[in-house]
Amino acid sequence: MNAKKDQKVVVLATGGTIAGLAEDVSKPNNYVSGHLTVAQLTQNIVTHGAQLVQEQVFNIDSKDLQFTHWQTLLGRCDYWLEQNDVAGLVITHGTDTLEETAFFLQTVLRPTKPVAMTCAMFPANVPQSDGPQNLQDALDWVLQTHDLGVYLVCAGKVHFGVGVQKIFSDRSQAFASRDEQSGCGKTSMPPIDWSMPSVAQVLSTKHWPRVELIYNHSGADGQMVRTLLKANADEKTDAPSGSNQNPTTDGLVVAGTGSGTLSQDLEQALIDAQKAGLWVARTSRCTFGVANPDKHPEVPAMLYVSPVQARVAMVLGLLARNASI
């Protein structure tokens, strides 16, 4: 191990299954997330001579993650990455929304040091607990890698934060990268030309854009989109005179079938939504592959990212737009 012995590695703990405990160890799927502290998680970790700094950012089930949690985590990451004696970060996180946090941190921070997110699919006190090995692997990766940016280290694999997706709900190898099969290679940003906000802009944000995620499917039409447009129109009508209140919905991401395809009625509704001032983009609901930019050219395609990562990208793009107004 070529440890960076003169530098620190900071472990930021946020909760999740990796910090969870099962009431009955014979029932590993019945547990409560976010019990163990960062000190408990790291008590048996091998540091290879590096100095370990521990910080409990919060301790929650990641399904309950809110934008305010992202702001808190972003602030702590930004602080530690600015320290000259810090070699990199390890972030423990729940699996359910990890891909969204990974995309968020990579997009806003653009780290010039390694940031390893890690997790577990089984709680800490059951025989098949995978958290300790994942945490050790994440630290080892930070100490050895020359890669920069936000990555997921889990189940013996390393995934770049953009394009990673949880594909299994019950296996230790729960994640895959969308570019593993498509041959796209590592992609740092979606292809739509949106400005992204600075760290300072995100940290100072009090009102986050609202972006809804919808799916194309058998029998899909544009009714949901039209309902959202009507709600926007009603809210503008009901808003007090001189109000700066934003419409209920600022943007729509649609997970298209196959290569990002849309039913005719849904496509028309999305075009109408754009004319009404909403941001609209589409991706594919498939785990691997990309949305074809040449299909439905009036509805921009986002490549390489899952629908939920596309939603995060739109939220950030809208945030940057709003900050510049």
User: What structural domains does the chain harbor?
Assistant: 8-177 (3.40.50.1170), 199-324 (3.40.50.40)
Mean of all residue pLDDT scores within the chain: 91
* Statement: residue 243 has pLDDT above 90: no
Averaged pLDDT for residues 148-156: 97
Confidence of residue 184 (pLDDT cuts 50, 70, 90): very low
Averaged pLDDT for residues 244-271: 89
* Statement: residue 245 has pLDDT above 80: no
Residue 301, Ramachandran bin (φ over 0: left; ψ between -120 and 50: alpha; else beta): beta
Would you state the pLDDT for residue 155?
A: 96
Would you state the pLDDT for residue 247?
A: 56
* Helix, strand, or coil (residue 32): strand
Q: What is the pLDDT of residues 88-127, one digit of tens each?
A: 999 999 999 999 999 999 999 999 999 999 999 999 999 9
Q: What is the pLDDT of residues 188-225, one digit of tens each?
A: 444 567 899 999 999 999 999 999 999 999 999 999 99
Q: In 3D, which of 137, 144, 143, 158 has the Cα closest to residue 8? A: 143
DSSP 8-class letter at 113: S
**What does residue 247 show for φ and ψ, rounded to 5 degrees?**
-60, 155
Burial 267-305 (b: 16+ CB within 10 A, else e): bbbbbebbeeebbbbbbbbbeebbbbbebbeebbbbbbb
